[in-house]
Amino acid sequence: MSSILNNSSATVALATLNNINKGLNETQNRVSSGLAIRSGKENAAYFAISETMSGDSGMFKAINEGLTSTKNSVATARLGAETVSGLAEQFAERVAFAQGSGINLADVQSELDGLVAQIGAAIDQSTFNGDDLVNATTAVTVVSGISRSSGSFATTTISFNQVDLGAIKTTLDAIDLSTSTDIAADLATAEGALSDAIDAATSLGVSEKTLEGQQDFLGSLTDTLDSGVSAMVDANMEEEAARLQAYQVQQQLATQSLSIANQSPQNILSLFR
């Protein structure tokens, strides 16, 4: 039965078109944003997890950047320690040379003074951005990451010791071969300073390697976290493209159906002509 008061066909066609338009808009939003989940209303669990993981990834990246500065400071200090070690080795060799007979100790002392001056210059230049790691033996602690073990948030750290290259310089500077009464003891002192310099360079090398390893780990970790977030919230663009085309076709058909349904009252009028 046809009615001029209620066009049920048009009502059904309009509801169908509204549903299609809603689906089309949602698909277009996923295509334009690249995200299948943009808020908690779409998938509360995935949204909460992805936001937490994204936050962790951002913190890991920031920590990694901070470790770069620390690693550069350690690398600079390590280079200084290796330079001091090489100069201390030359110092010990010259003191050993002075053990021979007929040696002009004043000339050797001039060489030693020159080496000490070079050591001092190397120490003064072994800082990065004002960060001095070569004039003390105190511990340095840097944040290396974060932990969410058992649901609790905490930071993880890496610690290493500074090295006192200044003390090595002081020890070598105190040797005055031209007035020494025990050059053998002076040689032992120089060898001890050389050993300390080697230990300092080795310690800083280990610290630098540790920091590099942690940075490599953080880089891989952030890549994994970003991939995990992407798997949960990113839209499947192939599926969305196919769905978009389907909705566009359905929209055209629904629009035509609504147009046909709206012509029904006009057909009733023809009965009264």
What is the per-residue pLDDT across 132-141, written as a single tens digit (0 to 9) for each? 999 999 999 9
Predicted confidence at residue 211, as pLDDT, reads: 96
Report how far residue 210's alpha carbon sits from residue 158's, in angstroms, rounded to the nearest whole number: 8
Predicted confidence at residue 36, as pLDDT, reads: 78
Start-to-end CA span in the chain (Å): 19
Q: Could you say which of 1.20.910.10, 1.20.1330.10, 1.10.10.10, 2.40.160.20 is the CATH number of the domain covering 53-230? A: 1.20.1330.10
How does the average pLDDT of the chain come out, rounded? 89
Residue 272 confidence (pLDDT) above 70: no
Sketch the domain layout of the chain as residue ranges: 8-34+235-272, 53-230
pLDDT tens, residue by residue, 57-108: 999 999 999 999 999 999 999 999 999 999 999 999 999 999 888 888 889 9
Strand 154-161 and strand 139-147: pairing?
A: antiparallel
Q: Decide if 81 contacts 246 (C-beta within 8 A).
A: no
Report how far residue 213's alpha carbon sits from residue 216's, in angstroms, rounded to the nearest whole number: 5
Q: What is the pTM of this model?
A: 0.77
Contacts of 156 (CB under 8 A, 6+ apart): 143, 144, 145, 146, 147
pLDDT mean over 4-14: 76
Token pair, residue 94, equals: 């010259």
Residue 265 confidence (pLDDT) above 80: no
pLDDT tens, residue by residue, 105-119: 889 999 999 999 999
